[in-house]
Amino acid sequence: MKRIEVLGMLSGICTTSAFVPQVFTVWSMKPLPAVSISLPMYVLFTVGVIGWAIYGIKIRAQSIAIMNSITTVLALSILVYKCVYG
């Protein structure tokens, strides 16, 4: 793996792992409504992250593709909570 890919992977790990505490916090509120979660923000964010994942796949950039795919799953889990519990 090239050094620049290592930098991309490490950066991706930092930004992606930043979502993990948010996911745990949101899901620990169950079954309370997530009124402080902005649905439009998470929809736009998730669409953008999916776009980045596809872009990473197309240009064969593993760090972009992998980290944005993981972030998509994390963001979708928050969206699911918001849609189910409000």
CATH 1.20.1280.290 is the classification of domain 3-85: yes
| pLDDT category of residue 64 using cuts at 50, 70 and 90 | very high
Whether residue 35 contacts residue 86, with contact meaning beta carbons closer than 8 Å, is answered with yes
User: Would you say residue 81 has pLDDT above 80?
Assistant: yes
DSSP symbols for 27-61: HHTTTS--TTS-HHHHHHHHHHHHHHHHHHHHTT-
pLDDT exceeding 70 applies to what percent of the chain?
A: 100
Q: What is the pLDDT of residues 9-59, one digit of tens each?
A: 999 999 999 989 999 999 898 888 888 889 999 999 999 999 999 999 999
| Per-domain boundaries in the chain | 3-85
Q: Model-level pTM greater than 0.85? A: yes
What is the structure's pLDDT at 52?
Answer: 96
